[in-house]
Structure formats: structure tokens, C-alpha cells
Structure 1
Amino acid sequence: MTPKSPPKKSRWSWRSQAFRGLIYQLIALGAIALAVWFLAHNTMQNMQVRGIQSGFDFLGQPAGFDIGESPIAFDSARPYWHAFLVGLANTLRVALIGIVLTTLFGTLLGIGRFSHNALVRGLCYAYVEFFRNIPVLLQLLMWYLLMTELLPASYEAWQVGPFFLSKGGFNVPLPLWTAGHAVMLIGLVVGIAAALVYRSRAIRHFEAIGEHRSTVLVPLGIAIGGAVVGWMVGGAPAAFELPHKGEFAIEGGAALTPEFMAVLLGLTMYTSAFVAEVVRAGIQSVSRGQAEAASALGLNRQQEMRLVMLPQALRVIIPPLTNQYLNLTKNSSLAVAIGYPDVVSIANTALNQTGRAVECISIVMLVYLTTSLATSALMNWYNARAAIKER
């Protein structure tokens, strides 16, 4: 007599653990949605009772104020949504440049902690302990005061060739845009693509036979070469608008304002100290035997760090490094304290003029939520690529 097989559980039966879990999740999502609806409905009712206007229709109205630093053309007749766009551009400019500078500077500091030179080790250690233990807001104020109090006035600006540094900011030559510059950008994009292809092949070549090819200098040269070729094909435009001393200020060219430089320096110096510790911890997590094996193979100190230690430490470095990128982006909101017109500053001005507090705060929250999620998604993708692949 053949034994009976146990009855199969239906996937949609209450006895199914997966089905019960799905129901519980739907109930939880419904409860959260109900709570959000209740809070939003209650808020709207209270605002109507008090005669407070609500809605995002104000975004189409003229802003009625100027923005001191605008990478996008703006005047007071433009609508509020355009002002928020300028604030977003200013926020992204600080965040993106700050992330690049922080990565480079923090990595050098972290590697410097392993230097055989006691002076270099001591300076790197002192830097980390000094800058990471002072609140970032105080550092922003410190850099702003240095920019506005110690630098000379515009009519006495320090000059080095076509560059001027004064309380009015850092003035540099500005290329006069022509069609040739567009061709140069196309060449740069093509060069970057070619550099990525070369770097990928160089890595596969190294993994296959152990022969090392440059994965930094040669790709960098390919990218720059593409830009140079594009520039030459576009007619080699070389016209610049040069800054010069005016009666009251430096005129012409492009200017980096004291507010922008103070925010960028403050965030970079502060976050670099944390990135340095992340890099140091990542390198220390690699077994000492790896360094000894690299030395036994005849690699010098620089090759050992670049080819053996850092690639293995990268898997430990990336997750906490993502947190530091997020912190830098969110800390840029403190720029409002020194008058830098980021998205928070624009929102404050719009809030004071329109009284739409909930809407303005919601826009700021959406901006930082979006930038943080985008940064996390990009770094998670890179972390997945750098992770150890099981054979």
C-alpha cells in the first residue's frame, strides 16, 4: 500500500506563511496611507478655518526678488519655480564639486595615515582630529569670516596674471562660448567613453595574465585627448573674457563668490576628515599578509597600496563612504547661515513672501530626498560591482 502524499498547501491559503505575510504587509501599508491622509486632511481643514491659503499655484507667480548668485539666468520677474530651480542648481553645484574634492582629499589623508614618514602621519592625524571635532556650522562661519575680513577690498585685489582674489570673490577668465566649445564637449564625451573601454580591458588583461597596465593616467590622457581633438576640430576657439579692476569691483570674467567658496571649503574640509577615517579603516581591514605578499613580489610601497590594498579595501570603504556623501549633501543646507542662495534659502524667501509654509518645506524635503536616493542608488550600484563575486 503506497503512502499518501501530504496535501499541497495552496499559495492563496491562509495556512501559507507567504500569503499571511502579504496580507499583513497590505494591512500595514493601508494603515500608513490612512494616517497620512488623516494628517493631510486635518492640516488642510485647519488652514482653511484660519484663512491660510494653500496649494502650489504660487509657483507660477512672479518671484519679485533677485538672487545674488545664479548659474541660470534669473531676474525678479521670473516665477517662483524658476527661483527654486536656481536654488537647486546652487545646491547641486556645491554637492557635486564637494563630493569630488572630498573623495580625493579624504583618500590622500587616509593613505597618509600609513606613511612611513612620522611627520606626514602626524599631520594627517592632527587634521582629522581637528576638523571632525568642530561643528560644521562653525567651520562655515569661520571660512566666511576669513573670506570677508582678511582678504583685501576689490580695488586692492590680489592679482596673479588674469586671476583676482578679494572680498568680492575669486575672479577668473571666462571662455566666450562658441560652436567650437560644443564640439569640444562632444569630443570629451567620446574620450571618456573610450577611456572607460580601455580601463575595462586593462583590468580584464590584468586579471587574465597579471600584466599591469595603467588604469588612471592612460584613461585620463584618452579623455583629455578627446577633448583636445574636439577643440581643434571646432576651430580651436581661444577667446576669453578677462576680468579687470573696475572703479568699485572686479568686472568681467567669471567669479566664485565668498559665500560659495566658504561653503565649499567648509564642507570639503569637514567631510574629508570622516572620509579619511573611512579609508584608513578600510585599509586596516585588509590582512597584513596581503602587504607582505606584495612586498615579496617586489612591489614598491606605492604599487602595494594602489594594486593590492586599496582594491580590496574598496569593498569595505564604499558603504560608509556613501553615508559621508549623503551627509555632505544634506549639510549643504547650512549654507543659508552665510547667505549662500541654495534651495533652503530660496524656500525661506518664498515662504516669507507667500506664507505657503507647508508647500515650501515640502519642496525642500523633496529635493533632499531625491538627491539622497539618487546618490544611494548610484553608490549601491558601484558597491555591487566592487563586491566579491562567488565562483
Structure 2
Amino acid sequence: MTRMYPSSGKSWNPPGRKPRSSRDISWSWRNPSRIRGEETMKHVLVIPGDGIGSEVITPTVEILSELVSSIDFEYASAGKALFEAEGFSISEGTIEAARKADAVLFGATETVYSSAYRSPVLDLRQKLDLFANVRIIRELRPNRKKVDFVIFRENTEGMYTRDEEQLPGEVITHRRISESACRRISEFSLSYCEEHGIGEIVCVHKANVLRLSDGLFVRIFREIASGYAEIESSDMLVDAAAMNIAMAPERFRAITTLNLYGDILSDLGAGLVGGLGFIPSANIGQMNAMFEPAHGSAPDIAGKGMANPFAAILSSAMMLDHIGFRKESEKLAEAVRSAVPGVEVDENGRCSTISAVDTVKRILFRS
């Protein structure tokens, strides 16, 4: 069943999805055009970026190359270093290469506070229409309080359209919330929950103040959720959600929300489980996908061998699942889960990169 949304003409059509009257529903959030045949070579564009980006992505690609022989890796540059050298942060050629790839594996880029600089991550999300950001918040360290939920974030609109206007004595930022984007992220998040056996989801918003824009989001979510009787759905104000994540994270299994809220709440969740070095993320569109650790370039520790690689490795596991290597994906994710208790991680989520990678490899490739 394909749903067309008038404001953009675009659709989110879950692969293999049957009408909701059928109870024999089975689909994967992976794009069917990306799922491999037995001997199909897959093409992944790797963009290490700045700072610790290359330090976590390089060993991740080494692991992938040993785990799966039928992936071809191509490298491209993006970020601050490229901007300083060439005057742009990502080339149109790289964006086109990303469009043609089966997936993009991205490292991290350094924030540049210049009106001339454009975030390459935001450019890729928007130009490839990667409308769904998926961040998994899960406690992997031993002897800790259980935290295990996923945040779905609308990835192309809201406060991150970068539509700002300079006026005398003030700046106006335009915030766009469309019906089509609300429908896509609502359908995607609910379908993901159905596929992965997640029985409850919370729509997070600020409709008590932003009555038109966030009100639209809540209305569309409720409409879509009404077709998922097996999933318990509710909504919550973003400030209340922040408090509850901090105080009782076990209350949550899934959250769907708008761009800015999702960005902030996922960092809050990361703080509960050891930091962004443990948080993988996916950016999913109808035809393309990009996978990246949720952390930044961390220039203060770049080159010191203390970058936590677990988020990058887990992001690559999500990528493997997306392009059809589900068995290998599960094997890699399980190796990380088994490795974490044996790696010394400090209070800032930092660890020996080499030690962490070697521990994963030892578990993954032991005979």
C-alpha cells in the first residue's frame, strides 16, 4: 500500500507492506532495492570526516572487510578540513556518489561557526531525503540500570532547515512542519515498532505552545497510530519527556518526535548509558541510507587513541542489516555487547580505541 501525501507528492512505502486489514504483516525497514541476492556485491561510501571520525571509522571498515567479503568500499572527504582547503564542506560529486551507493558510513565532522559553512551531514540528510533518524539508547555496561529504547526523529524539517533571516537587530529562524513529513515519520516509527516487537511508543511534542505546528504532528501521529491496535501509543510534552528520561528511562521503549527535540533527547539518553560513544544511529530514506555514530569529532581527544569506537561499530551493524546482511549484523552487534564489559571506559565514555577494537575482533573472529 503506497500512501501519497499532497504537500510533497512523496510517499513512504514500507517494503512488502500489506493493507492494515491483513494480519499477515511482515516487512523489514530495509529498502527492498538494497537487499542482496546471494552473490551481489554491495557498494558503501565511507566518509571519515574530521577529528576522531577516521579513528573510529578506519577500524570499523577493517572489521567489516573481514566479516563480509562482498562489500566494496569507496572513500570520500567532507567536513572542516575540506572546507578550509577547498571552500566547501562536501562536494556535489560526493553527494551523487552517496546517492548511488547502497549505503553511506559516516564518521564525524567538526562544528564550524561560519555562515559560509554548511554541515555535510545536514546536506546529505536533506538532499538524499533521509527523513528518519533512528538512534538506539541502550545500556551495554554491566551492573547498571536497564535502559533500552529507540528515538525516531524527523530528519529533514523543523528547526534544521537552516532557513534564517538577518534583520536589523534580530534574526528570524523559519521552522517548517509539513503534513507529509509528519506522516512519513509516524508511519515509519510505528512500522519499525511492529517489525521489531516493540509494543509501545510515545509521541513527543510541545503542542501546548506550538499549537499549529506541533499540533499538526500530534494529530497526524494519532491518526496513523489508530491503525496499529497492537501498539500502545501516547503523547507527552517534550519537557516532561526530558524529565522522565532522566528519572525513569525504563518507562520508554520508543519515542517519535520532531527534529530538534529528537536531537536533544537522544543526547540526554546517551548521558544515561555512558555517553555518545555508545549510541549508533541510522538516517533512512526511501532510496538511500546513511549510518553514523551519534558523537561529534571530539577535537580535544583526536589523535590520542582514546576515542570510543563502539558507536561506530554498532552503526555499521545497523548498516549491514539495512543492505541485507542480517546474520552478520547480529553477529557483530553481539560481539560488541560481549566486548563492552571487558573494556575499561572512563566517566566521559572514553576508552583505548585499540583495546576496544581488539576485544571486538577477538570475540567476533575467535575460532
- Shared fold per TM-score greater than 0.5: no
The structure with the largest strand share of the pair is: 2
Q: TM-score, normalised by structure 1?
A: 0.21
Q: TM-score, normalised by structure 2?
A: 0.22
The structure with the largest helix share of the pair is: 1
Kindly name which structure, 1 or 2, has the bigger radius of gyration based on alpha carbons: 1
